[in-house]
């Protein structure tokens, strides 16, 4: 039961592409769904931990250090990193961008990307936003300090690539709301929302 869309260039109708037309192995679709859910949870967890201070990266401190505050307690989830966690030639650039607006944009992107990826909807937009945020975070820490695991490819790059693969394969169709989302009239008219 696939939706039908009209090709604007030719006027022909064609079935809307779904994950099973791109990824023909059911096991691969399940693996992509698990990868999608895990990646979405990484983004959603960053939002939850920074908002509520759940004592993982936010609110936790080694002995003798001051714990960081949650966003609800007046913490600054993006500003702190942009002012004190950056290094290299772009350090001043990121420090100058640090503001309450940066906190809001960062937190909304973590919530939006995390929720959308976990639900399997809006994966193209999520891939663009998430990959942009990951690229900026990678750039903020570039070049990696001596002793890093890899001088070029770190988890920021991997997360960005996973988001892109998930979007290109319509991985939200398996164990997600992707097929329902694709049938919405606005998504059919505005394919970039897929």
**Contact criterion met (CB below 8 Å) for 140 and 90:** yes
pLDDT value of residue 161: 98
Q: Is residue 8 in a domain?
A: no
Confidence of residue 146 (pLDDT cuts 50, 70, 90): low
Query: Is 7 a domain residue?
Result: no
Token pair 């976990």 is at which residue? 118
Rg (the chain; Cα; Å): 19
DSSP state at residue 71: G
Task: Report the Cα–Cα distance between both ends of the chain, in Å, rounded.
Answer: 18
Question: Whole-number mean pLDDT of the chain?
Answer: 89
- Report CA-CA distances (Å) from 151 to 106, 113, 154, 155: 25, 26, 8, 11
Residue 104 domain flag: yes
Q: Which DSSP symbol is given to 23?
A: -
User: pTM here?
Assistant: 0.86
Q: How confident is the model at residue 11 (pLDDT cuts 50, 70, 90)?
A: very low
For 79, the domain range is 19-60+70-193
Is 3 within 8 Å of 173 (Cβ atoms)? Answer: no
Residue 107, domain member (yes or no): yes
Contact assessment for residue 48 and residue 71, using Cβ atoms and an 8 Å cutoff? no
Judge whether 181 lies within some domain: yes
Number of domains composing the chain: 1
Location of structure tokens 């945020």? 133
Residue 2 lies in a domain: no
Residues 44-92 pLDDT 10s? 999 999 999 998 888 776 777 777 889 999 999 999 889 988 988 999 9
In a domain, 25, yes or no: yes
In a domain, 168, yes or no: yes
Region of residue 75 (left: phi > 0; alpha: psi -120 to 50; beta: else): beta
Q: Contact at 8 Å (CB) between 45 and 25? A: no
């Amino acid at each position: 039961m696939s939706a039908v869309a009209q090709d604007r260039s030719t006027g022909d109708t064609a079935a809307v592409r779904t994950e099973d037309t791109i990824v023909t192995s059911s096991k691969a679709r399940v693996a992509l769904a698990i990868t999608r859910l895990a990646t979405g949870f990484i983004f959603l967890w960053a939002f939850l931990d920074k908002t509520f201070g759940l004592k993982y990266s936010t609110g936790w401190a080694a002995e003798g250090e001051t714990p960081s505050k949650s966003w609800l307690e007046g913490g600054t989830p993006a500003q702190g990193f942009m002012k004190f966690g950056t290094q290299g030639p772009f350090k001043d650039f990121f420090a100058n961008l640090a503001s309450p607006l940066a906190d809001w944009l960062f937190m909304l992107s973590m919530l939006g990307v995390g929720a959308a990826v976990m639900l399997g909807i809006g994966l193209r937009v999520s891939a663009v936003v998430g990959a942009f945020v990951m690229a900026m975070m990678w750039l903020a820490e570039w070049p990696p300090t001596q002793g890093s695991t890899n001088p070029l490819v770190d988890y920021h790059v991997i997360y960005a690539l996973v988001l892109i693969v998930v979007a290109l394969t319509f991985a939200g169709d398996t164990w997600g709301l992707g097929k329902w989302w694709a049938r919405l009239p606005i998504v059919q008219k505005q394919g970039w929302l897929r």
